Structure 1
Amino acid sequence: HIDFPSNESVYQFKLTSEDHVWADVGEEVTLPCHLSPDTSAVATTIRWFKGTECIYLYKNGQVTERSDCEGRVSLITQELERGNVSLRLRDFRESDRGVYICQVIHGEQKDEAAVSLLVRGGKCSRTPGMFLNT
Protein backbone atom coordinates (compact mmCIF):
# COMPACT_ATOMS: atom_id res chain seq x y z
CA HIS A 1 0.00 0.00 0.00
CA ILE A 2 1.57 3.27 -1.12
CA ASP A 3 0.43 6.60 0.23
CA PHE A 4 0.51 9.19 -2.50
CA PRO A 5 0.80 12.76 -1.32
CA SER A 6 -2.30 14.84 -1.87
CA ASN A 7 -2.54 16.61 -5.18
CA GLU A 8 -1.77 19.96 -3.58
CA SER A 9 1.85 19.16 -2.83
CA VAL A 10 2.72 17.81 -6.28
CA TYR A 11 0.92 20.69 -7.94
CA GLN A 12 3.25 21.85 -10.71
CA PHE A 13 2.65 24.76 -12.97
CA LYS A 14 4.44 26.78 -15.59
CA LEU A 15 3.85 30.32 -16.69
CA THR A 16 3.43 31.00 -20.38
CA SER A 17 3.59 34.39 -22.02
CA GLU A 18 4.50 36.03 -25.31
CA ASP A 19 7.91 37.44 -26.14
CA HIS A 20 6.62 40.89 -26.83
CA VAL A 21 3.51 43.00 -27.12
CA TRP A 22 3.07 46.19 -29.15
CA ALA A 23 0.92 49.10 -28.07
CA ASP A 24 -0.04 52.57 -29.25
CA VAL A 25 0.25 55.49 -26.87
CA GLY A 26 -3.03 56.09 -25.05
CA GLU A 27 -4.52 52.66 -25.64
CA GLU A 28 -5.16 49.79 -23.26
CA VAL A 29 -2.72 46.92 -23.54
CA THR A 30 -2.79 43.44 -22.05
CA LEU A 31 0.45 41.78 -21.01
CA PRO A 32 -0.35 38.10 -21.50
CA CYS A 33 0.51 35.54 -18.86
CA HIS A 34 -1.17 32.22 -18.12
CA LEU A 35 -0.73 29.32 -15.78
CA SER A 36 -0.16 26.07 -17.60
CA PRO A 37 -1.98 23.75 -17.12
CA ASP A 38 -5.04 25.99 -16.62
CA THR A 39 -5.22 26.12 -12.86
CA SER A 40 -7.03 28.62 -10.71
CA ALA A 41 -4.70 31.42 -9.63
CA VAL A 42 -7.10 32.78 -7.01
CA ALA A 43 -5.12 31.29 -4.11
CA THR A 44 -1.71 32.26 -5.47
CA THR A 45 0.50 35.29 -4.97
CA ILE A 46 0.90 37.20 -8.24
CA ARG A 47 3.55 39.86 -8.70
CA TRP A 48 4.14 41.93 -11.80
CA PHE A 49 7.48 43.69 -12.08
CA LYS A 50 8.65 46.33 -14.48
CA GLY A 51 12.37 45.67 -14.50
CA THR A 52 13.14 45.12 -10.81
CA GLU A 53 10.26 47.17 -9.42
CA CYS A 54 7.08 45.47 -8.29
CA ILE A 55 4.23 47.45 -9.83
CA TYR A 56 1.36 45.13 -8.93
CA LEU A 57 0.89 42.62 -6.14
CA TYR A 58 -2.08 40.31 -5.71
CA LYS A 59 -2.10 38.26 -2.54
CA ASN A 60 -4.98 36.63 -0.65
CA GLY A 61 -7.35 38.55 -2.88
CA GLN A 62 -5.77 41.88 -1.86
CA VAL A 63 -4.16 44.19 -4.39
CA THR A 64 -1.26 46.61 -3.95
CA GLU A 65 -0.22 48.91 -6.80
CA ARG A 66 2.79 51.12 -7.23
CA SER A 67 1.71 54.75 -6.95
CA ASP A 68 2.64 55.85 -10.47
CA CYS A 69 0.71 52.91 -11.93
CA GLU A 70 -2.27 53.30 -9.61
CA GLY A 71 -5.55 53.04 -11.39
CA ARG A 72 -3.81 52.04 -14.62
CA VAL A 73 -2.93 48.41 -13.95
CA SER A 74 -5.28 45.57 -13.14
CA LEU A 75 -5.68 41.83 -13.37
CA ILE A 76 -8.71 40.40 -15.11
CA THR A 77 -10.05 39.07 -11.83
CA GLN A 78 -12.85 36.95 -13.30
CA GLU A 79 -10.22 35.17 -15.41
CA LEU A 80 -8.02 34.16 -12.47
CA GLU A 81 -9.97 30.95 -11.98
CA ARG A 82 -8.95 29.93 -15.50
CA GLY A 83 -5.28 30.57 -14.79
CA ASN A 84 -5.19 33.88 -16.64
CA VAL A 85 -2.87 36.22 -14.72
CA SER A 86 -2.45 38.75 -17.56
CA LEU A 87 -1.93 42.37 -16.57
CA ARG A 88 -4.02 45.11 -18.12
CA LEU A 89 -2.40 48.49 -18.51
CA ARG A 90 -4.61 51.47 -19.35
CA ASP A 91 -3.52 54.72 -20.97
CA PHE A 92 -0.24 53.34 -22.33
CA ARG A 93 2.63 55.85 -22.22
CA GLU A 94 6.02 55.83 -23.94
CA SER A 95 7.59 55.53 -20.50
CA ASP A 96 5.71 52.26 -19.93
CA ARG A 97 7.78 50.39 -22.47
CA GLY A 98 10.25 47.86 -21.15
CA VAL A 99 10.42 44.32 -19.85
CA TYR A 100 7.68 43.15 -17.52
CA ILE A 101 7.97 40.04 -15.42
CA CYS A 102 5.07 38.08 -14.02
CA GLN A 103 5.83 35.95 -10.97
CA VAL A 104 3.38 33.48 -9.48
CA ILE A 105 3.89 31.71 -6.16
CA HIS A 106 1.75 28.84 -4.97
CA GLY A 107 2.96 27.15 -1.80
CA GLU A 108 6.49 25.95 -2.53
CA GLN A 109 6.10 26.44 -6.25
CA LYS A 110 7.29 29.56 -8.03
CA ASP A 111 7.63 30.46 -11.68
CA GLU A 112 8.06 33.63 -13.69
CA ALA A 113 7.70 34.74 -17.28
CA ALA A 114 8.86 37.89 -19.03
CA VAL A 115 7.21 39.93 -21.77
CA SER A 116 8.58 43.01 -23.55
CA LEU A 117 6.23 45.93 -24.07
CA LEU A 118 7.07 47.96 -27.17
CA VAL A 119 5.71 51.17 -28.64
CA ARG A 120 4.07 50.66 -32.00
CA GLY A 121 4.99 53.04 -34.80
CA GLY A 122 5.69 56.75 -34.60
CA LYS A 123 3.28 59.48 -33.65
CA CYS A 124 2.10 60.03 -37.21
CA SER A 125 1.66 56.47 -38.42
CA ARG A 126 -1.99 55.50 -38.05
CA THR A 127 -1.81 52.42 -40.24
CA PRO A 128 -2.75 49.25 -38.39
CA GLY A 129 0.22 47.10 -37.49
CA MET A 130 0.73 44.07 -39.66
CA PHE A 131 0.86 40.80 -37.81
CA LEU A 132 3.14 38.28 -39.40
CA ASN A 133 2.71 34.73 -38.28
CA THR A 134 6.14 33.24 -38.47
Structure 2
Amino acid sequence: MFSLFIAVKMAESRVHTQFKLTSEDYVEAVGEEVTLPCHLSPDTSAVATTIRWFKETECIYLYKNGQVTERSGYEGRVSLITQELERGNVSLRLRAYRESDRGVYICQVIHGEQKEEAAVCLWDRGGKCSITPVMFLTI
Protein backbone atom coordinates (compact mmCIF):
# COMPACT_ATOMS: atom_id res chain seq x y z
CA MET A 1 0.00 0.00 0.00
CA PHE A 2 2.84 2.40 0.83
CA SER A 3 4.55 1.98 -2.56
CA LEU A 4 1.26 2.63 -4.36
CA PHE A 5 0.89 5.94 -2.52
CA ILE A 6 4.39 7.01 -3.57
CA ALA A 7 3.73 6.08 -7.20
CA VAL A 8 0.55 8.17 -7.24
CA LYS A 9 2.33 11.15 -5.69
CA MET A 10 5.14 10.91 -8.24
CA ALA A 11 2.65 10.81 -11.11
CA GLU A 12 0.88 13.90 -9.73
CA SER A 13 4.14 15.84 -9.51
CA ARG A 14 4.84 15.21 -13.20
CA VAL A 15 1.47 16.63 -14.26
CA HIS A 16 2.11 20.08 -15.69
CA THR A 17 -0.13 22.06 -17.97
CA GLN A 18 1.78 23.06 -21.09
CA PHE A 19 0.84 26.36 -22.64
CA LYS A 20 1.74 28.55 -25.56
CA LEU A 21 1.60 32.32 -25.82
CA THR A 22 -0.50 33.88 -28.55
CA SER A 23 -0.42 37.50 -29.63
CA GLU A 24 -0.94 39.75 -32.61
CA ASP A 25 2.09 40.69 -34.69
CA TYR A 26 1.18 44.38 -34.89
CA VAL A 27 -0.94 46.79 -32.87
CA GLU A 28 -1.66 50.35 -33.95
CA ALA A 29 -1.68 53.03 -31.28
CA VAL A 30 -4.85 55.09 -31.53
CA GLY A 31 -5.47 57.53 -28.71
CA GLU A 32 -4.01 57.69 -25.23
CA GLU A 33 -4.35 54.02 -24.25
CA VAL A 34 -3.33 50.86 -26.06
CA THR A 35 -3.46 47.18 -25.12
CA LEU A 36 -0.66 44.88 -26.23
CA PRO A 37 -2.42 41.52 -26.54
CA CYS A 38 -0.95 38.33 -25.14
CA HIS A 39 -2.80 35.23 -23.99
CA LEU A 40 -2.01 31.75 -22.70
CA SER A 41 -3.35 28.97 -24.89
CA PRO A 42 -5.14 26.83 -23.90
CA ASP A 43 -6.78 29.13 -21.34
CA THR A 44 -4.62 28.59 -18.26
CA SER A 45 -4.52 30.66 -15.10
CA ALA A 46 -1.51 32.99 -15.08
CA VAL A 47 -1.94 34.00 -11.42
CA ALA A 48 0.94 31.75 -10.23
CA THR A 49 3.29 32.58 -13.11
CA THR A 50 6.06 35.12 -13.58
CA ILE A 51 5.12 37.61 -16.30
CA ARG A 52 7.67 39.98 -17.82
CA TRP A 53 7.06 42.57 -20.51
CA PHE A 54 10.09 43.91 -22.36
CA LYS A 55 10.41 46.86 -24.71
CA GLU A 56 13.18 45.70 -27.01
CA THR A 57 15.54 44.19 -24.38
CA GLU A 58 14.57 46.29 -21.32
CA CYS A 59 12.18 44.79 -18.80
CA ILE A 60 9.49 47.43 -18.27
CA TYR A 61 7.00 45.37 -16.24
CA LEU A 62 7.39 42.40 -13.90
CA TYR A 63 4.59 40.46 -12.20
CA LYS A 64 5.81 37.79 -9.76
CA ASN A 65 4.03 36.28 -6.76
CA GLY A 66 1.36 38.98 -6.99
CA GLN A 67 4.00 41.72 -6.74
CA VAL A 68 4.52 44.27 -9.52
CA THR A 69 7.67 46.15 -10.52
CA GLU A 70 7.58 48.85 -13.21
CA ARG A 71 10.59 50.41 -14.93
CA SER A 72 11.23 54.11 -14.50
CA GLY A 73 9.34 56.05 -17.17
CA TYR A 74 6.56 53.45 -17.21
CA GLU A 75 5.40 53.79 -13.58
CA GLY A 76 1.65 54.25 -13.47
CA ARG A 77 1.44 53.80 -17.26
CA VAL A 78 1.62 50.00 -17.57
CA SER A 79 -0.54 47.30 -16.01
CA LEU A 80 -2.01 43.87 -16.50
CA ILE A 81 -5.75 43.33 -16.40
CA THR A 82 -5.52 41.43 -13.11
CA GLN A 83 -9.12 40.16 -13.16
CA GLU A 84 -8.29 38.46 -16.49
CA LEU A 85 -5.19 36.58 -15.26
CA GLU A 86 -7.31 33.60 -14.19
CA ARG A 87 -8.37 33.15 -17.84
CA GLY A 88 -4.81 33.41 -19.17
CA ASN A 89 -4.97 37.02 -20.36
CA VAL A 90 -1.51 38.54 -19.79
CA SER A 91 -2.02 41.54 -22.08
CA LEU A 92 -0.23 44.76 -21.16
CA ARG A 93 -2.24 47.97 -20.93
CA LEU A 94 -0.18 51.08 -21.77
CA ARG A 95 -1.60 54.49 -20.84
CA ALA A 96 -0.51 58.02 -21.81
CA TYR A 97 0.91 56.80 -25.14
CA ARG A 98 4.00 58.63 -26.41
CA GLU A 99 5.82 58.38 -29.74
CA SER A 100 8.78 56.92 -27.87
CA ASP A 101 6.56 53.94 -26.92
CA ARG A 102 6.68 52.68 -30.53
CA GLY A 103 8.64 49.51 -31.06
CA VAL A 104 8.78 45.79 -30.36
CA TYR A 105 7.45 44.44 -27.07
CA ILE A 106 8.08 40.91 -25.80
CA CYS A 107 5.76 39.12 -23.39
CA GLN A 108 7.50 36.39 -21.39
CA VAL A 109 5.64 33.96 -19.13
CA ILE A 110 7.44 31.49 -16.87
CA HIS A 111 5.80 28.65 -14.97
CA GLY A 112 8.10 26.11 -13.38
CA GLU A 113 10.55 24.96 -16.03
CA GLN A 114 8.48 26.28 -18.94
CA LYS A 115 9.24 29.68 -20.47
CA GLU A 116 7.31 31.06 -23.44
CA GLU A 117 7.71 34.35 -25.30
CA ALA A 118 5.64 36.26 -27.85
CA ALA A 119 6.38 39.53 -29.64
CA VAL A 120 4.06 42.34 -30.65
CA CYS A 121 5.00 45.48 -32.56
CA LEU A 122 3.44 48.77 -31.47
CA TRP A 123 3.31 51.50 -34.11
CA ASP A 124 1.22 54.51 -35.01
CA ARG A 125 -0.07 55.77 -38.34
CA GLY A 126 2.74 56.25 -40.80
CA GLY A 127 5.20 54.40 -38.58
CA LYS A 128 7.01 51.21 -39.38
CA CYS A 129 7.95 48.33 -37.19
CA SER A 130 9.69 45.05 -37.80
CA ILE A 131 9.93 42.16 -35.43
CA THR A 132 13.40 40.67 -35.28
CA PRO A 133 14.48 37.73 -33.13
CA VAL A 134 15.68 38.83 -29.69
CA MET A 135 17.77 36.70 -27.35
CA PHE A 136 17.22 37.00 -23.59
CA LEU A 137 19.47 36.11 -20.72
CA THR A 138 17.82 34.29 -17.85
CA ILE A 139 17.70 36.62 -14.87
Normalization by structure 2: what TM-score? 0.81
Q: 1:17-51: per-residue Cα shift (whole Å, max 9, x none)?
A: 00000013x51000000000000000000000000
- Corresponding position: 1:94 with 2:99: yes
Match of 1:29 in 2: 34
Q: How many residue pairs end up in the alignment? A: 121
Matched, 1:46 2:82: no
Task: Please give the residue correspondences for 1:38-77 in structure 2 after superposition, counting only pairs within 5 Å.
Answer: 38-77=43-82
Aligned to 2:135: none
Segments of structure 1 that go 5 or more residues without pairing to the other structure are: 123-134
Name the % identity.
81
Larger relative contact order, structure 1 or 2 (CA cutoff 8 Å, min sep 6): 1
Whole-Å separation in 1 of the counterparts to 2:45 and 2:16: 15
Partner of 1:17: 23
Q: CA RMSD in A?
A: 1.9
2:83 aligned counterpart, secondary structure: helix
State TM-score, norm by structure 1: 0.84
C-alpha spacing 1:7/1:86, structure 2 compared with 1 (3 Å): farther
Off by >2 Å, runs of 4+ in structure 1: 1-10
Mapped to 1, the partners of 2:116 and 2:71 lie a distance apart of 22
Secondary structure of the residue that 2:76 maps to in structure 1?
coil
* Match of residue 130 from structure 1: none
